A and B are shown apart, each in its own frame.
Chain A
C-alpha cells in the first residue's frame, strides 16, 4: 500500500564554516557570517521518505518554515524527487522557539494527509533535537526517535531499529507515526542532474515578487502585481511554484506562534573567550620532551 510522507526540513547557518566574526560589534549573532545550508540530517530524513515511496508508492511532501530565502532548502528536495514542497512564511512567526515552531508545523501538517512524518535529528545551529518530539506530541502521533534503520513496513505497520545510546532497540508501530532520523540511517542519493537544472528555477511567490520589484522598480504597483501573477502562473504550470503558506492559511492560533508562543527568552549572549592559566611551552626536541615530562612529574600530574 502507498504511504504519504511529510518531511520537515530546516535552513541552518553552517556553523562549521564560519566565514567571519560570529558576533557583531553590538553583541548579536552575525548570521551574515554564517552561510545558510540544508540541515545535513534533514537530508537523511528526506532520503528515508524517498526510499519508502520507491518501495511502496505514495508521495513525499517537504515543509519548512522561514523567510522566503529558505526556499533554497525546498529546491533541493525538488531536485531529489519530492512531489510537493511547502514554505510557511509569516512575519508573525519570527522569533519562534522550538515550542512555537512545532506548533506552527503541526498546524501545517494537519492540512496534509501524512502517514509518516520525518524529521532529521538535530539541527546544526541549535542542536536541540526538540522539534521532532514536540511535533509528535502536538499531532498526537506515536514518536520514534533516533531511527537508524527502517527494517520493514507492511500493511501500515512500521518496524524500525533505533539507537538508544547504549545499544539498539527494534520497535514496531502502526502508522501514522513521527520518526526522527539519524545521519547513520542512510546515504542520501545525489540529485539527478536534469531535475537539478530544472528545479533550480523553482520559486515561491514572495521570491517572484522580489525579482519583479528588483527588475521594474519604477512600475506601478498594479503592473508589478500583474507581472508577479503572470510569472507565478508560468511557474505553477511548469510545476515549479513553491507553495507559500501564511499562519492564516494553516489556521494557526497566533497566541502560540512567534514571540508570544515562545516561553524561552534569551537572557544573555556571550562570545566565547578563552581564559587559560599559567602556560609553559617546550620546544619539540628531545630536551623539550624530557623537560616537559619532568615538569609533569614534579607537579605530581604523572608518575
Chain B
C-alpha cells in the first residue's frame, strides 16, 4: 500500500490509539491520555483518541473523562478482533482525513503490531518504547533552520548505555510507542466534556488474512503497580532458594516481590514479577533492590520509586547511584537481619529511641 506522505500540519491534533479488547479498554491508552493532554496543551491543539472495534459502549465516555477532547470511533463487526490489516487501513484513513501531528500507541502486543504497520503505510517515522515525550525545538546539524515544537521522543538505546532523543520533522505524523506503566495514570473527571466523532471506513476491499482459532487470556499473577513496597531480586540473589529470603521479608513488610530481567531469565521467578523496561514500571513508596546491579533497563522501571534501598555486595553497582539507603553486604547475611529487625517490634522501638537520641 503506497499512500502519499502526510504533510506537516502544525494545527494537527495529538492522538492516542485507544486499545481495547472485547469492549474493555487497556490501561495504556488511559495512561497515555495524561501525557497526551500535556502535549496537546503545550501545542494548543485538541487531544483525540482513536477507538476501533465492534462493541464499544461506554468507552468513549471513559476516554473523555481521562482527558480526550475528541474520540474518533469506528465500530464495525470486521474490527471485533484485532488484525493488522484492518486496523492499519482504518487508522491510515483517519490520518489522511484529519492529519494529526502526533500519534501515540501503547507498546503492547497489539500496539507493537499496529504502530509500525501504520508508520510503514503512512511512510512516517516511529520511535519504539519511549520513556518520555516532550515538545521542543530541533536544529539539524549543519543547518541554521530551527524546527519548532517537535515531538521529542526520548528512549534508552544500545542496551541502555545511552539515552537517545529522536525527532521527525519532514514526514508526519510523529509517532511513538510507550510501554505500559511508563506514564502515570491520571485521575478521571466524569464531568469533563468531549466530542464523540463517529466515522465509517469502507472495509469491503480490505483483506483479513488471519483466522483466529482460539484465544486464552490470563490475568497477571501479581499486581506490582499497586504495591506500596516492592522487594526485587536480581542475578546477584544467586538461586531460587535464596529468593525465598526475599519472599520472607516481603511477607513481614506486606510487600510485593519483583525481579530484574536477569533473575527472570535465570529462572529464579516468573516473568509476571519482572520490573523494568521489558517488564512492569513501578512507583512504590519503597523499592528494595536486592542483588540488582541496576542496569538502565531495570532502573527505567523503578527509578521513580519514592525511596530506594539497595542491598548488594558490590559497592560499585550502579544501583547505589540512585539509592537513598544502602547496605553493602551479602544478602544471605543482610536479609535475615532485616527480617529480624522488622519482626522484633521491641527492638525496632529500641532502635527508634536510640536513633532519636
Chain A residues within CB distance 8 Å of chain B: 13, 15-16, 18, 22-23, 29, 34, 97-99, 102, 124-134, 136-138, 140, 142-146, 159, 163-174, 177, 256, 262-272, 274-299, 301-302
Report if A136-B156 is in contact (Cβ < 8 Å); known contacts: A272-B296, A289-B334. Answer: no
Partner of A286, one of B158, B307, B337: B337
Q: For residue B109, which residues in chain A have a CB less than 8 angstroms away from its CB?
A: 145-146, 163-166
Residue of B nearest to A145 (CB): B113
Say whether chain B's binding surface is mostly helix, strand, loop, or mixed: mixed
Bound together, the chains give a CA A295 to CA B286 distance in angstroms of 12
- Which of under 10, 10 to 19, 20 to 34, or 35 or more describes the interface residues of B? 35 or more
Chain B residues within CB distance 8 Å of chain A: 1, 84-85, 88, 108-110, 112-113, 115-117, 119-121, 123-129, 136, 138, 140, 150, 152-153, 156-171, 209-220, 229, 253, 285-286, 296, 299, 306-307, 309, 318, 320-330, 333-334, 337-338, 340-342, 344, 347-348, 350-352, 354-355
Partner of B125, one of A97, A132, A170, A271: A97
Q: For residue A277, which residues in chain B have a CB less than 8 angstroms away from its CB?
A: 324
Q: For residue B108, which residues in chain A have a CB less than 8 angstroms away from its CB?
A: 165
Please tell me if the beta carbons of A128 and B323 are within 8 angstroms of each other in the complex: no
Please tell me if the beta carbons of A22 and B128 are within 8 angstroms of each other in the complex: no
Please tell me if the beta carbons of B340 and A289 are within 8 angstroms of each other in the complex: yes
Please tell me if the beta carbons of A295 and B213 are within 8 angstroms of each other in the complex: no
Report if A169-B229 is in contact (Cβ < 8 Å); known contacts: A138-B120, A279-B323. Answer: no
Please tell me if the beta carbons of B120 and A133 are within 8 angstroms of each other in the complex: yes
Q: For residue A131, which residues in chain B have a CB less than 8 angstroms away from its CB?
A: 116
Bound together, the chains give a CA A174 to CA B211 distance in angstroms of 9
Please tell me if the beta carbons of A286 and B341 are within 8 angstroms of each other in the complex: yes
Residue of B nearest to A21 (CB): B161
Q: For residue B163, which residues in chain A have a CB less than 8 angstroms away from its CB?
A: 269-272
Please tell me if the beta carbons of A173 and B229 are within 8 angstroms of each other in the complex: no
Partner of B158, one of A125, A143, A144, A297: A125
Bound together, the chains give a CA A293 to CA B252 distance in angstroms of 12
Q: For residue A145, which residues in chain B have a CB less than 8 angstroms away from its CB?
A: 109, 112-113
Q: For residue B128, which residues in chain A have a CB less than 8 angstroms away from its CB?
A: 126-130
Q: For residue A172, which residues in chain B have a CB less than 8 angstroms away from its CB?
A: 210-211, 213
CB distance from A299 to the nearest CB of B (A): 8
Q: For residue B354, which residues in chain A have a CB less than 8 angstroms away from its CB?
A: 291, 294
Partner of B341, one of A15, A177, A279, A293: A293
Partner of A29, one of B1, B158, B337: B158
Bound together, the chains give a CA A298 to CA B307 distance in angstroms of 13
Please tell me if the beta carbons of A267 and B166 are within 8 angstroms of each other in the complex: yes
Residue among B136, B220, B334 with the highest chain A CB neighbour number at 10 A: B334
Extra pairs beyond A130-B116, A284-B328 (6, CB < 8 Å): A18-B159, A128-B129, A171-B212, A270-B162, A270-B163, A271-B162
Say whether chain A's binding surface is mostly helix, strand, loop, or mixed: mixed
Please tell me if the beta carbons of A167 and B325 are within 8 angstroms of each other in the complex: no
Please tell me if the beta carbons of B333 and A264 are within 8 angstroms of each other in the complex: no
Residue of A nearest to B159 (CB): A15
Please tell me if the beta carbons of A284 and B126 are within 8 angstroms of each other in the complex: no
Bound together, the chains give a CA A281 to CA B329 distance in angstroms of 11
Q: For residue B320, which residues in chain A have a CB less than 8 angstroms away from its CB?
A: 276, 279
Bound together, the chains give a CA A295 to CA B307 distance in angstroms of 12
Bound together, the chains give a CA A128 to CA B162 distance in angstroms of 15
Q: For residue A177, which residues in chain B have a CB less than 8 angstroms away from its CB?
A: 209
Q: For residue B85, which residues in chain A have a CB less than 8 angstroms away from its CB?
A: 142-143
Please tell me if the beta carbons of A144 and B210 are within 8 angstroms of each other in the complex: yes
Please tell me if the beta carbons of B321 and A289 are within 8 angstroms of each other in the complex: no
Bound together, the chains give a CA A165 to CA B351 distance in angstroms of 46
Please tell me if the beta carbons of B338 and A280 are within 8 angstroms of each other in the complex: no
Report if A266-B112 is in contact (Cβ < 8 Å); known contacts: A137-B88, A172-B213, A293-B341. Answer: no
Bound together, the chains give a CA A288 to CA B333 distance in angstroms of 12
Please tell me if the beta carbons of A137 and B158 are within 8 angstroms of each other in the complex: no
CB distance from A233 to the nearest CB of B (A): 40
Report if A290-B330 is in contact (Cβ < 8 Å); known contacts: A272-B161, A295-B355. Answer: no
